[in-house]
Structure 1
Amino acid sequence: MFHDYYLRGPDRDTTRAALLAAGLTIEIEDEDDEPRRVPAEGVNLSTIGRIYEGGEWDAEGNVVTPPTALPGWHVNLRLERPLTVGEQAALAGFVVTPVPGTPYRVWA
C-alpha cells in the first residue's frame, strides 16, 4: 500500500529545502563532484513545478490568451509508509489537504 501526498510550497527553493529538512531528499555529489539532491531511500517524487490553467491558442499554436499560473510550487510524494511525525513537522503547511479531487498528475 502506498501513501501519496500532494505538496505545494511557495516556490521551488523553499519546497526543496523543506524536503531536505524532512530527510525525504539527500545531497550527493555527482560524477563531476557537484552537489545534487536526490530522493532518499524509499521516497518517490514527481516534481510538477508551476501549474497553469486556462489559455487560448490559435490554429497555428500561437498564444491568443496566455494561461494563468496558479500559486505555488507543486510536488507529488509517494511513500510505502505514512509520513513520520518529524517529516510532518518539516512539511508543515506544504501538504495539501484535502487531497485534490482532480490532481494535475497522478501515479500510474
Structure 2
Amino acid sequence: MFYDYYLRGADRDTTRAALLAAGLTVDVDIDGETRRVPAAGASLSTIGTIYTGGEWDADGNLVTEPVAVPGWHVNLRLSRPLEASEVAALAGMEISPAPATPYRVWAE
C-alpha cells in the first residue's frame, strides 16, 4: 500500500527546503558533489510549474498563451502515512483534497 501526496509550495527553493526540513530528502555526496535525493522510503516526482489552457492553430502556432498555475508542484509517494513532524515541516503544502485529475500519476 502506498500513500500519495500532491504538494504545492510557493516556489522551487521553498518547496525543496520544506522537503529537506521534513526529512523527506537528504543531501548526499556523490563524487565530491552534494546532491539532494529522496530519503529512504520516499519517492518524489517533481513537476514544477503547471500550465493550463493555451491554444494552437492547425499549423502548431501559438494563438493563446497557457497560464501558469501558482506554485511549485511535487508528487510524493510513501509506504506509510506522513508523520506529524513531516506535516508540520511541509506547512500546509499538501493539496487537499487531492486533485481529481492530477497532472502526473504514479504507475501502478
TM-score normalised according to structure 2 size: 0.95
Shift of 1:34: 1.7
Q: In percent, how many aligned pairs have the same letter?
A: 71
- For residues 45 and 60 of structure 1, the distance between their equivalents in structure 2, rounded to whole angstroms, comes to 36
Q: How many residues align?
A: 107
Give structure 2 stretches of 5+ with no counterpart.
none
CA RMSD of superposed structures (Å)? 0.9
Cα deviation per residue 1:57-101 (whole Å; 9 max; x = unaligned)?
A: 123322111100010000000000001111111012101111111
- Please show how residues 1-108 of structure 1 align to structure 2 within 5 Å: 1-31=1-31, 33-108=32-107
- For residues 13 and 62 of structure 2, the distance between their equivalents in structure 1, rounded to whole angstroms, comes to 29
Give structure 1 stretches of 5+ with no counterpart.
none
Which structure's residues are more often strand, by fraction? 2
Look up the equivalent residue of 1:48 and give its one-letter code: I
TM-score normalised according to structure 1 size: 0.95
Cα deviation per residue 1:18-37 (whole Å; 9 max; x = unaligned)?
A: 00000000001222x12110
